[in-house]
Structure 1
Amino acid sequence: MRYSLLVLLLVLLIISCKAPYFFIGMNEQAFLSKNKGVKIVKSSKSETIYQKINYPFGKPPDYKFFYFINGQLDHVDEGVQSPDLIIQHNRN
Structure 2
Amino acid sequence: MAPLNALHDSEIATRLATLDGWARHATRIVKIFRFANYYETMAFVNAVAWIAHRSDHHPDLEVGYNHCTVSFTTHDAGGLTARDFDGAAKIDALFSL
Question: What is the TM-score when the length of structure 2 is the normalising length?
Answer: 0.32
Larger strand share, 1 or 2: 1
Higher gyration radius (CA): 1
